[in-house]
């Protein structure tokens, strides 16, 4: 799909990536003023407090979990993997859009990434933080998490390297490290801009220390570009590998509904699908509240909607293949697993998932829908819910009825399950609100590089 | 505009890169060193007991067999602590007035057991059986150290899992003839001090150990469930 090409009739100039009329000065002013001169607005305080209250709820849940153990959640045999793993997969999937935008699209010279990559990367980092909490808490004794690391220890044993849960540790920690580095390296020139524009001494020192002595010399730029390229190269395989490893958590097991070779590609597509939905969910209100419509234009939203549509179709293919294979395999348990999804006790969730992930997003074929901000916002929320349901169906519905009917059971999340999930939203939004308050949420440097292009496009049109 | 940072910041910034590596590496090393130190493991720490019982005197100088007091070591998981009556078999006759032994006599009179301080205690999640080790040619001193030289008893090993696995992975390095299991003065074979086993003279522990592993059918059991049941 030609993402850069707009839907204009053939021959017309493509729609510019940022609204014409911007100069280097106005771009820098616009983005840096959000941090430096706009101050702490009541709207921000309100949003932050909502996030922070939920974070405190997380604090409460974790404390209770430490005291009482994972029994406060609804996990009971046969469903030992409940919300914790559902939410882990969901959050980590969301992160993937940020990495795709910052790494793969950088290597592919997709210039539309520049206005959204910074906060998409921030979203990645915060989402991975939320994701990482769940397996740790699900262990029951989180303070022994370091047992998962291969380190010299007086027990003389290594982690079980044949276990996908150990692969997870490597995949997620690598992902977090590379994403954080990538994000920080990208921030350095902007931090220098903030340092130079800050009026207050403390801000100068903090931004100055973070800018690590950036002076904007040719050597600095050369190294900056080189480092970005290297990190993009490092991050590119991660877009594919992390969710592949996450899908191995399931496929390595023999449970019907998990043991399937289509999982890796279908998980990766699902991750990018949910990630772009989350970018849209965040971008639409932010660009409205901070009046960034000329930097994050309707065209950006349009392109993201197209990516969602494309990845959504891959995900739909995954569902179709799962269903097909369940019957084509001739395997009694596989077939029952699918029948159980379609009309078992959790049937409404499966059909809601089909509605949210396959049917409703088909509206994105229409340019009118893609250009309608409220419609896009609603669809992005619908996809977020749909992708969460997908993980619930995979984790819970597969586990609750496997081979032996005498071992079947039901899973009902407790209020603490919901509180943990809500609590990670608290963590996410607290971090995100701090980010938009104290760091430039759009890359000043990269958007400045677009100014030249749009002014050229103006002269052409 | 005035400079925010002094020139020296450049040096500090550069040094901090190496500093971070050194500090993190150093911290990791320090933690590991502490975890292995006797200060943390209490290896070699002499325990105070209600009666200052000396294994050196009883097992070393007098040559009382380990099993005279630790009676269940060949049949049970627990080697057994002697009842006061065992002490009194001798001490009703000798040292009958020693003030040091008053707690023993008091215990005998009242029927209240002596409360010894445990020296070697494995955590509850570890299943350990003395009888199987003893019957497969693992000597008392292999784990309990030079007991015949201990005035007050101390723990000879760290009791870390690595300490167990060291032998479970290569028993040939430690195993001895069954006849020598309860000998507190046993020394592994060497050129100057050969050991007889199965009618042959051995001057090398590994050669003896390999044969003993075969003869005694010792398995190198390393399943988690061997000890964590």
**Candidate from A152, A155, A213 with C-beta closest to B161:** A155
Q: Per the domain annotation, does B92 fall within a domain?
A: no
Same domain for B76 and B179: yes
Same domain for B76 and B28: no
Q: Per the domain annotation, does B42 fall within a domain?
A: no
All residues at 6 or more sequence positions from B158 whose CB lies less than 8 Å from its CB, including other chains: A154, B36, B41, B43
Mean pLDDT value of segment B162-173: 93
Residue B151: its pLDDT value, please? 93
Whole-model pTM? 0.87
Under 8 Å between Cβ of A113 and A427: no
Q: Kindly determine whether residue B160 and residue A204, on different chains, have CB atoms separated by under 8 Å.
A: no
All residues at 6 or more sequence positions from A310 whose CB lies less than 8 Å from its CB, including other chains: A1
Cα A197 vs. chain centroid, distance in angstroms?
32
Same domain for B194 and B130: yes
Mean pLDDT value of segment A126-138: 94
Token pair 């049109």 in the structure block, residue:
A461
pLDDT band with cut points at 50, 70 and 90 for residue B175: very high
Q: Per the domain annotation, does B97 fall within a domain?
A: no
**Packing angle of the helix pair A201-211, A164-197 (nearest 10 deg):** 130
Q: Per the domain annotation, does B51 fall within a domain?
A: no
CA distances from A99 to A17, A36, A242, B211 (A): 20, 28, 11, 60
Residue B23: give the domain boundaries.
Answer: 8-36
Judge whether residue A275 has pLDDT over 90.
yes
Same domain for B219 and B125: yes
DSSP state of B221: -
Residue A6: its pLDDT value, please? 46
Question: Which segments of A146-268 are extended strands (E)?
Answer: none
Q: Per the domain annotation, does B194 fall within a domain?
A: yes
Q: Does A208 touch chain B (CB under 8 A)?
A: yes
Mean pLDDT value of segment A34-41: 88
Q: Kindly determine whether residue A156 and residue B165, on different chains, have CB atoms separated by under 8 Å.
A: yes
Same domain for B76 and B188: yes
Beta strands at B200-202 and B195-197: parallel, antiparallel or unpaired: antiparallel
User: What ipTM was assigned to the predicted interfaces of this complex?
Assistant: 0.74
Residue A401 to residue A51: CA distance in whole angstroms? 37
Same domain for B201 and B145: yes
B110 HSE (CA, 13 A, CB side): 9
Residue A191 to residue A325: CA distance in whole angstroms? 52
Q: Write the pLDDT tens digit of every residue in B96-133.
A: 889 999 999 999 999 999 999 999 999 999 999 999 99
Same domain for B30 and B124: no
Same domain for B15 and B76: no
Under 8 Å between Cβ of A194 and A32: yes
Cα A41 vs. chain centroid, distance in angstroms?
27
Judge whether residue A285 has pLDDT over 90.
yes
Residue A83 to residue A85: CA distance in whole angstroms? 6
Question: Which segments of A342-403 are extended strands (E)?
Answer: none
User: Nearest-CA neighbor of A296 among A24, A27, A33, A96?
Assistant: A27
Residue A220 to residue A222: CA distance in whole angstroms? 5
Within 8 A of B161 by CB-CB distance, chain A residues are 154-157
Under 8 Å between Cβ of A291 and A356: no
A 10 A CB-CB count for B150 gives 21
Token pair 């925010």 in the structure block, residue:
B4
A 10 A CB-CB count for B22 gives 11
Q: Report the run of H or E that residue B197 belongs to, with start and end.
A: strand B195-197
Main-chain dihedrals φ then ψ at residue A118, nearest 5 degrees: -60, -50
Residue A170: its pLDDT value, please? 93
**Packing angle of the helix pair A263-289, A83-99 (nearest 10 deg):** 70
Contacts for B161-164: CB closer than 8 Å, 24+ residues apart? B161/A154, B161/A155, B161/A156, B161/A157, B162/A153, B162/A154, B162/A155, B162/A156, B164/B227
Q: Kindly determine whether residue A205 and residue B32, on different chains, have CB atoms separated by under 8 Å.
A: no
Same domain for B76 and B25: no
Q: Per the domain annotation, does B168 fall within a domain?
A: yes
Same domain for B30 and B127: no
Q: Does A157 touch chain B (CB under 8 A)?
A: yes
Q: Per the domain annotation, does B32 fall within a domain?
A: yes
**Total domains, chain B:** 2
Under 8 Å between Cβ of A447 and A114: yes
Mean pLDDT value of segment A30-48: 90
Residue contacts between A and B (CB atoms, under 8 Å): 31
Instruction: Kindly report the length of chain B.
Output: 229
Q: Per the domain annotation, does B190 fall within a domain?
A: yes
């Amino acid at each position: 799909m030609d993402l850069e090409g707009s839907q204009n009739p053939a021959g017309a100039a493509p729609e510019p990536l940022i609204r014409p009329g911007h100069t280097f000065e106005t771009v820098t002013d616009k983005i840096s003023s959000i941090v430096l001169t706009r101050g702490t607005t009541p709207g921000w305080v309100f949003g932050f407090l909502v996030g922070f209250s939920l974070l405190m709820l997380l604090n409460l849940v974790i404390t209770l979990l430490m005291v009482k153990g994972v029994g406060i959640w609804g996990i009971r045999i046969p469903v030992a993997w409940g919300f914790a793993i559902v939410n882990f997969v969901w959050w980590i999937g969301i992160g993937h859009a940020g990495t795709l935008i910052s790494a793969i699209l950088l290597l592919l010279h997709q210039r539309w990434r520049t206005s959204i990559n910074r906060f998409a990367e921030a979203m990645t980092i915060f989402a991975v933080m939320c994701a990482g909490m769940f397996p740790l808490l699900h262990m029951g004794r989180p303070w022994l998490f370091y047992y998962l690391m291969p380190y010299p220890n007086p027990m003389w044993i290594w982690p079980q390297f044949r276990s996908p849960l150990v692969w997870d540790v490597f995949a997620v920690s690598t992902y977090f490290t590379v994403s954080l580095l990538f994000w920080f390296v990208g921030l350095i020139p902007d931090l220098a801009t903030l340092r130079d524009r800050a009026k207050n001494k403390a801000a100068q020192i903090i931004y100055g220390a973070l800018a690590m002595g950036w002076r904007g010399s040719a050597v600095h730029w050369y190294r900056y570009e080189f480092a970005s390229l290297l990190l993009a190269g490092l991050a590119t395989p991660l877009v594919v590998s992390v969710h592949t490893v996450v899908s191995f958590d399931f496929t390595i097991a023999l449970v019907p509904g998990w043991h399937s070779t289509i999982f890796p590609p279908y998980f990766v597509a699902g991750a990018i699908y949910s990630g772009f939905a989350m970018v849209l969910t965040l971008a639409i209100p932010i660009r409205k509240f901070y009046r960034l419509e000329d930097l994050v234009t309707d065209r950006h939203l349009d392109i993201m909607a197209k990516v969602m549509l494309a990845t959504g179709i891959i995900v739909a293919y995954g569902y179709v293949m799962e269903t097909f294979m369940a019957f084509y395999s001739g395997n009694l348990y596989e077939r029952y697993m699918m029948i159980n999804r379609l009309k078992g006790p959790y049937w409404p969730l499966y059909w809601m998932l089909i509605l949210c992930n396959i049917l409703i997003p088909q509206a994105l074929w229409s340019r009118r829908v893609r250009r309608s901000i409220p419609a896009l916002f609603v669809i992005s929320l619908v996809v977020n819910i749909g992708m969460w349901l997908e993980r619930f169906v995979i984790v819970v519905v597969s586990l609750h009825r496997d081979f032996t009917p005498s071992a079947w059971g039901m899973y009902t999340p407790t209020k603490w399950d919901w509180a943990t999930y809500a609590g990670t939203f608290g963590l996410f939004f607290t971090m995100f609100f701090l980010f938009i308050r104290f760091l430039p949420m759009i890359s000043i440097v990269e958007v400045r590089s677009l100014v030249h292009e749009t002014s050229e496009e103006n002269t052409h049109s | 505009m005035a400079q925010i940072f002094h020139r020296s910041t450049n040096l500090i910034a550069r040094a901090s890169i190496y500093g971070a590596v050194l500090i993190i590496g150093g911290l990791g090393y320090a933690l590991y060193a502490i975890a292995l130190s006797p200060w943390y493991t209490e290896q070699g720490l002499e325990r105070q007991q209600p009666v200052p019982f000396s294994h050196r005197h009883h097992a070393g100088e007098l040559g009382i067999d380990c099993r005279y007091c630790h009676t269940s070591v060949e049949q049970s998981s627990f080697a057994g602590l002697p009842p006061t009556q065992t002490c009194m078999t001798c001490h009703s006759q000798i040292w009958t007035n020693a003030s040091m032994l008053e707690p023993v006599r008091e215990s005998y009179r009242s029927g209240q057991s002596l409360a010894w301080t445990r020296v070697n205690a494995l955590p509850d999640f570890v299943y350990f059986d003395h009888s199987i080790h003893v019957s497969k040619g693992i000597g008392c001193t292999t784990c309990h150290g030079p007991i015949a030289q201990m005035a007050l008893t101390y723990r000879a090993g760290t009791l870390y899992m690595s300490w167990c696995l060291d032998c479970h992975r290569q028993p040939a390095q430690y195993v001895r003839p069954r006849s020598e299991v309860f000998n507190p003065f046993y020394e592994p074979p060497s050129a100057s001090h050969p050991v007889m086993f199965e009618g042959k003279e051995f001057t090398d522990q590994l050669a003896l150990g390999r044969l003993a592993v075969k003869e005694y059918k010792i398995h190198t059991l390393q399943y988690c469930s061997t000890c964590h049941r």
